[in-house]
């Protein structure tokens, strides 16, 4: 039996009329942006905005997307001429749109020289990044470069064949400087605190270890604007692929799913020029930090809390978790009582924002798995929950609900669920966390003591605060004794 036809330039014309498609000539655009970390979030977010820009006639801003390690995206989309489907799901149904802004795909591990050359191209004026928190080879507790990271050590030894984000950025900037080409702007779109400044710090330190003059050049000439990005993008399943194929009439190897809501707040610092992002719905501002705090603390902090506790209680997705009245009430109290007092954004109705977040979490059309959100917790906790805890402790305010979220992570990284089954903990420190948990056993005081000692997560200040320690012991003790569902109901 012949394989079904694939989505590509040749089959675009065969798609049903209800499927939106690129409103521009795919062969008439040129690359102005290189993106590192071309995963599902980028394809549902930044590439979606750029697709709109190209449709408005800003045709010199197409994207060259690069995966640093895995060839999966390239292998899925190269036979499709870079095209893929964005499926926007809500209770009202699903809207399908073919995105064409990714005009080239590279794999850094396979051909680092090709990626460096693309970044050094004079037509490229922006390099965007979604490599997740762990992709920056930094210490999440301090925001500094982890100079003992294996990729950093390797890149310092052979800078012309980089593996890490700092390695690729610095080598490309070095080549542009040598050729007399103005540097690109580095636009981080990951959930890091003060993400632009964090990436600038990491890149500058790496450059110092390579060449002091280059480091001075980067400090003086390269812009690292801060951003805030927001869109819920669940992992694509085989069922999603089948649904999209039925609707298109052709096969799409890797469509992406997303909610209707999307937000992009960008600090307006682009010395090399930029497209009119504001024309396609992005917010250009002088200071992103208030928006960043709003999103990291109210959305991401609640998301992580739901993920750990919901997974332990047996809920597969966030919407499943929110359908439990006790969890819905927990999130409402967490946001309104403990997080909102730490967030201040001029001109934003924060109570309305939190209500909208809870509606988004409850969207039954999005199968956003608790296990997916629970990944890489050691990298996420500092900015999602611990910074809020620091502010609450400084104010002498309660942290019981925030501590319950952290205790959920502590229970999760033991690697065993409440029925004794194995948890597939995906985290850069998974083996270390599991060893600490095994040594401590299922004893709340010993487990809290052991995990608070992970300086990369908790720093040195939080472990010394008896208020946090006591709150964690209480919450973790309840989780171990009564289970997540009963503990959340009691809370």
**Residues 254 and 372 reside in one and the same domain:** no
Is pLDDT of 1 > 90?
no
For residues 414 and 471, give the distance between their C-alpha atoms in angstroms, rounded to a whole number.
19
What's this model's pTM, rounded to 2 decimal places? 0.92
Chain-centre distance for alpha carbon 379 = 11
Per-residue pLDDT band for 4 (boundaries 50, 70, 90) equals: confident
Distance of alpha carbon 119 from the chain centroid: 22
Same-domain status, 41 and 152? yes
Look at residue 43 in the predicted model and tell me its pLDDT. Answer: 98
C-alpha–C-alpha distance, residues 309 and 490, integer Å:
13
Give a three-class secondary structure readout of the chain: CCCCCECCHHHHHHCCCCCECCCCCHHHCCEEEEEECCCHHHHHCHHHHHHHHHHCCCCCCEEEEEECCCCHHHHHHHHHCCCEEEEEEECCEEEEEEECCEEEEEECCCCHHHHHHHHHCCCCCEEEECCCHHHHCEECCCCEECCCCHHHHHHHHCCCCCCCHHHHHHHHHHHHHHCCCCCCEEEECCCCCCHHHHHHHHHHHHHHHHCHHHHHHHHHHCCCCCEEEECCCCCCCHHHHHHHHHHHCCECCCCEEECCCCEEEEECCCCCCCCCHHHHCCEEECCCHHHHHHHHHHHHHHHHHHHHHHHHCCCCEHHHHHCCHHHHHHHHHHHHHHHHHHCCCCCCCHHHHHHHHHHHHCCCCCCCEHHHHHCCHHHHHHHHHHHHHHHHHHCCCCCHHHHHHHHHHHHHCCCECCCCCECCCCCCCHHHHHHHHHHHCCCHHHHHHHHHCCHHHHCCCHHHCHHHHHHHHHHHHHHHHHCHHHHHHHC
Q: How far apart are CA 260 and CA 86, in angstroms?
A: 11
Phi, psi of 267 (to 5 degrees): -70, 130
CATH value at residue 317: 1.10.1040.10
242 and 349 share one domain = no
Same-domain pairing of 94 and 218: yes
pLDDT tens column, 188-215: 999 998 999 999 999 999 999 999 999 9
Cα–Cα distance between 395 and 307 in angstroms, integer?
Answer: 27
Residue 481 lies in a domain: yes
Look at the chain and report how many structural domains it folds into. 2
Q: Are 81 and 9 in contact (CB under 8 A)?
A: yes
Tell me the percentage of the chain whose pLDDT exceeds 70. Answer: 99
What is the predicted pLDDT for the residue at 13?
94
**Strands 227-230, 126-129: parallel, antiparallel or unpaired by DSSP?**
unpaired
The single residue listed with the structure tokens 């927990």 is 330
Residue where a domain terminates, one of 222, 255, 285 = 285
* Distance of alpha carbon 123 from alpha carbon 131, whole angstroms: 23
* Whether residue 133 has pLDDT greater than 60: yes
**What pLDDT does 413 receive?**
98
- Which of 151, 368, 184, 179 lies closest to 273 in space, CA to CA? 184
| Structural domain contains residue 459 | yes
Domain annotation covers residue 26: yes
| Phi, then psi, of 179 in degrees rounded to 5 | -90, 0
Do residues 192 and 313 both lie within one domain? no
- Are residue 257 and residue 396 in the same domain, yes or no? no
Phi and psi torsions of 266, nearest 5°: -130, 130
Asked whether residue 220 falls in the same domain as residue 297, the answer is no
Q: What is the pLDDT of residue 249?
A: 97
Q: Which residues contact 13 (CB under 8 A, 6 or more apart)?
A: none
Give the residue numbers spanning the domain of 485: 289-490
Tell me the per-residue pLDDT of 60-84, one tens digit each, with 9 for 90 and over: 999 999 999 999 999 999 999 999 9
Contacts of 76 (CB under 8 A, 6+ apart): 84, 253, 254
- Assigned domain for 1 exists: no
**Is 2 domain-assigned?**
no
- pLDDT tens figures, 403-449: 999 999 999 999 999 999 999 999 999 999 999 999 999 999 999 99
CB 101 within 8 A of CB 54: yes
Longest CA–CA span in the chain (Å) reads 69
- For residue 187, give the nearest of 174, 203, 171, 175 by alpha carbon: 203
Question: Is there a domain that residue 4 lies in?
Answer: no
Last residue of one domain, picked from the residues 267, 285, 303: 285
Is position 3 within any domain? no
328 in the same domain as 251: no
Asked if 331 contacts 306 with a C-beta cutoff of 8 angstroms, the reply is yes
Specify the CATH number for the domain of residue 242.
3.40.50.720
- Residues 324, 448 within the same domain: yes
Whether residue 305 sits in one domain with residue 247: no
Same domain, 314 and 396: yes
Query: What's the rounded Cα separation, in Å, for the pair 34 and 23?
Result: 22
What is the rounded average pLDDT for all residues in the chain? 97
Q: Is residue 413 part of a domain?
A: yes
Instruction: Measure the CA–CA gap between 325 and 293, rounded to whole angstroms.
Output: 27
Last residue of a domain, one of 285, 301, 333: 285
The phi and psi torsions of 20 (rounded to 5 degrees) equal -70, 150
**Cα separation values, 198 from 6, 164, 386, Å:** 41, 15, 17
- Express each pLDDT in 249-282 by its tens digit: 999 999 999 999 999 999 999 999 999 999 999 9
200 & 329 share domain: no
């Amino acid at each position: 039996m012949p394989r079904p036809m694939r989505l590509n330039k040749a089959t675009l014309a065969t798609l049903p009329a209800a499927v939106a498609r690129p409103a521009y000539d795919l062969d008439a655009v040129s690359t102005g942006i290189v993106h590192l970390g071309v995963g599902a979030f980028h394809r549902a977010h930044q590439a979606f905005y750029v697709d709109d820009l190209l449709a408005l006639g800003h045709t010199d801003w197409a994207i060259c997307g690069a995966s640093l390690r895995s060839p999966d995206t390239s292998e899925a989309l190269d036979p499709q001429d870079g095209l893929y489907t964005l499926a926007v799901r809500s209770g009202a149904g699903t809207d399908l749109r073919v995105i064409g802004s990714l005009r080239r795909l590279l794999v850094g591990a396979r051909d680092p020289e090709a990626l460096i050359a693309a970044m050094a191209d004079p037509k490229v004026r922006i390099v965007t990044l979604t490599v997740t928190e762990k992709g920056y080879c930094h210490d999440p507790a301090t925001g500094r470069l982890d100079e003992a990271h294996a990729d950093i050590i390797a890149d310092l030894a052979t800078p012309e064949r980089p593996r890490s984000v700092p390695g690729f950025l610095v080598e490309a900037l070095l080549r542009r400087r040598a050729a007399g080409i103005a540097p690109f702007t580095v636009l981080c779109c990951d959930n890091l605190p003060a993400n632009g400044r964090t990436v600038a710090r990491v890149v500058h330190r790496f450059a110092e270890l390579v060449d002091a003059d280059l480091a001075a050049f980067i400090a003086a000439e390269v812009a690292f604007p801060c951003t805030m990005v927001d869109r819920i993008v669940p992992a694509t399943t085989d069922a999603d692929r089948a649904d999209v194929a039925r609707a298109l009439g052709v096969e799409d190897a890797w469509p992406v799913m997303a909610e209707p809501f999307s937000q992009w707040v960008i600090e307006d610092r682009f010395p090399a020029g930029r497209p009119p992002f504001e024309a396609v719905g992005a917010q250009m501002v002088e200071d992103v930090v208030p928006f960043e705090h709003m999103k990291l603390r109210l959305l991401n902090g609640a998301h992580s809390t739901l993920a750990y506790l919901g997974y332990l209680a047996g809920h597969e997705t966030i919407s499943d978790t929110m359908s439990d009245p006790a969890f819905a009430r927990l999130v409402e109290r967490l946001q309104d009582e403990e997080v909102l007092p730490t967030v201040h954004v001029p001109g934003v109705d924060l109570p309305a924002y939190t209500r909208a977040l809870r509606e988004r979490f409850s969207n039954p059309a999005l199968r956003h798995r608790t296990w997916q959100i629970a990944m890489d917790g050691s990298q996420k906790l500092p900015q999602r929950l611990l910074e809020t805890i620091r502010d609450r402790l400084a104010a002498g305010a309660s942290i019981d609900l925030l501590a319950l979220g952290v205790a959920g992570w502590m229970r999760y990284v033991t690697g065993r669920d409440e029925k004794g089954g194995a948890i597939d903990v995906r985290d850069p420190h998974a083996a270390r966390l599991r060893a600490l948990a095994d040594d401590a056993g299922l004893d709340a005081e010993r487990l809290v003591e052991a995990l608070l000692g992970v300086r990369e997560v908790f720093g040195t200040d939080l472990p010394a605060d008896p208020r946090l320690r006591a709150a964690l012991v209480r919450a973790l003790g309840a989780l171990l004794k009564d289970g997540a569902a009963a503990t959340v109901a009691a809370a």
